[in-house]
Homo-oligomer: A and B are copies of this chain.
Amino acid sequence: MPAKRKEHTSHLGSPAIEDYLEQIHNLIIAKGYARVVDIAKNLGVSQASVTNMIQKLDAEGFVVYERYRGVILTEEGGKVGADIARRHEVLTRLLAGFGLDPKTVHEDVEGMEHHISRQTLDVLTLLMEELEGNAVLMRKLKRKLAGLS
């Protein structure tokens, strides 16, 4: 039975709230500010779409938009953005550690990252840390993985 959990995400081609907040978070971390043009570029959408979504995010209390200062995350927006960025990182490191091709990792991560509870994130983080710190286990699993393809 499909879960009825409310999600800030669509997966129907157009990036949803969680993707915007993740991207704004990443830009602020990397550059200190998030410009519409950079958000548009990173999400592969038009600047008009970004402006529309930012108005929606502002109305919903996730960001504050000021014409000359750009987009600022509220505490709630910052929490969601950082959370998705963390899920993105953990999933990516876990899968990339096995040597999967980056495009596949990226596509899977972009989909999966919206469906991960705190508990599941804890499990995936533990697995990632264990594998990154346990070369013997990683070697064993990679050998098995190579045998599957």
Contact = CB atoms under 8 A, between A and B. Distances in A.
Interface of A: 1-5, 7, 9-13, 15-16, 19, 23, 42-44, 94-95, 98, 100-101, 104-108, 110-112, 114-117, 119-120, 122-123, 126-127, 130, 137, 140-141, 144-145, 148-149
Copies of this protein, total: 2
Closest 9 CB pairs of A and B: A111-B115, A3-B107, A3-B110, A2-B15, A112-B115, A108-B120, A100-B119, A112-B112, A2-B19
By DSSP majority rule, is chain A's interface helix, strand, loop, or mixed? helix
Given A3-B107, A3-B108, A112-B116, 5 more contacts: A4-B44, A94-B123, A98-B123, A107-B117, A108-B117
A104 B126 contact: no
Contacts of A127: 127, 141
A111 B145 contact: no
A117 to B, nearest CB: 5
A135 B39 CA distance: 46
12 contacts: A3-B107, A4-B13, A7-B111, A98-B123, A108-B116, A108-B117, A110-B115, A111-B115, A111-B116, A112-B116, A130-B137, A130-B140
Contacts of A114: 11, 111
Contacts of A111: 3, 5, 7, 112, 114-116
